[in-house]
Amino acid sequence: DVKVTQSSRYLVKRTGEKVFLECVQDMDHENMFWYRQDPGLGLRLIYFSYDVKMKEKGDIPEGYSVSREKKERFSLILESASTNQTSMYLCASSHATGVTETQYFGPGTRLLVL
Amino acid sequence: GQNIDQPTEMTATEGAIVQINCTYQTSGFNGLFWYQQHAGEAPTFLSYNVLDGLEEKGRFSSFLSRSKGYSYLLLKELQMKDSASYLCAGMDSNYQLIWGAGTKLIIKP
């Protein structure tokens, strides 16, 4: 079974803090994604990566950065957390096999910024 | 622009059948996904359609009409554990997923 793990289920941070969210997958997937999920909105793509050391901006990259030093690990960084970044953060991974790129999700990190 | 529309909430009775509709507008089209998400948990993959027609998988079926930009998820013999949100997502020409806000399905005994 595909397993995607995230470093924390719940996190509370203060405004201005630097926040690291870690994601690890164990299925040798090429693609990895970071989304945020807010009530009443669809999943919104923050950043994604198709390969090690490679990153692409998604729909809402402002205020975030990412790092992919190893194939299995994709980190999301909030450089200076703000209250509007309070959200559920979901990491996903998939094989790069053409159109049927089913994404497998981690359990999510619920971040509260005070 | 790109858009996915689905109802916000639906209610159904245990043992019954429910159909959750989804309309999509994407720049190019590389398939339509349905995911299930229980409260506080990660979305899990249910189905993928890229050709017109009905795909059946046990109690769940998914239908696609590309000419109408329309899909539905059909759940039969509803069980209490089917209470969840159901997310519709279209894949565009860049193989990016465009997500709907999800349909919260409430099952009553």
Distance of CA B48 to the CA centre of its chain: 9
For residues B60, A102, A25, A86, the Cα torsion angle rounded to the nearest 10 degrees is -80
Structure confidence by residue, pLDDT tens digits, B73-89: 999 999 999 999 999 99
With contacts defined as CB-CB under 8 Å, which chain B residues touch A41? Answer: 101
With contacts defined as CB-CB under 8 Å, which chain B residues touch A31? Answer: none
Average pLDDT in the B13-19 region? 98
Q: What is the pLDDT of residue A98?
A: 57
- State chain A's mean pLDDT as an integer: 93
Q: What is the pLDDT of residue A58?
A: 94
For residue B30, give the nearest of A43, A99, A106 by CB distance.
A99
CB B45 within 8 A of CB B88: no
CA–CA gap between residue A110 and residue A93 (Å, rounded): 19
Whether the per-residue pLDDT at A52 is higher than 90: the answer is yes
* Closest-CA distance of chain A to residue B3, Å: 10
Average pLDDT in the A15-24 region? 97
CB contact under 8 A, A100 and B31: yes
CB distance from B43 to chain A under 8 Å? Answer: yes
Q: What is the pLDDT of residue A68?
A: 97
